[in-house]
Amino acid sequence: MLVLGRKPGEYVVIDDKIIVKVVKSEAGDLRLAIDAPKDVPIVRGEVYERNKKLKDETDK
């Protein structure tokens, strides 16, 4: 896993196709803005884990 420090307004580019930008909300929270092709699924971690758990239970 690559760990990077980024400030609001800075971004990383993945495979020339996906841009992940750090943005700051009015409440002061840091958020990620993700620009990716439509065919690339983007899922929040908690949703990914829940779906993985459900799939693992179904596969048993």
Block residue for tokens 């980024």:
6
Whether residue 19 lies inside any domain: the answer is yes
Whether residue 25 lies inside any domain: the answer is yes
Instruction: Supply the pLDDT for residue 17.
Output: 96
What is the span of the domain harbouring residue 22?
Answer: 11-59
pLDDT digits (tens, 9 = 90+) for 2-12: 999 998 999 99
**Per-residue CA distances from 24 to 5, 7, 9, 48, 50 (Å):** 14, 9, 8, 24, 28
Whether residue 50 lies inside any domain: the answer is yes
Q: What's the domain count of the chain?
A: 1
Whether residue 6 lies inside any domain: the answer is no
Residue type, 2: L
pLDDT digits (tens, 9 = 90+) for 1-57: 999 999 899 999 999 999 999 998 778 788 999 999 999 999 999 999 999 999 998
Whether residue 2 lies inside any domain: the answer is no
Whether residue 26 lies inside any domain: the answer is yes
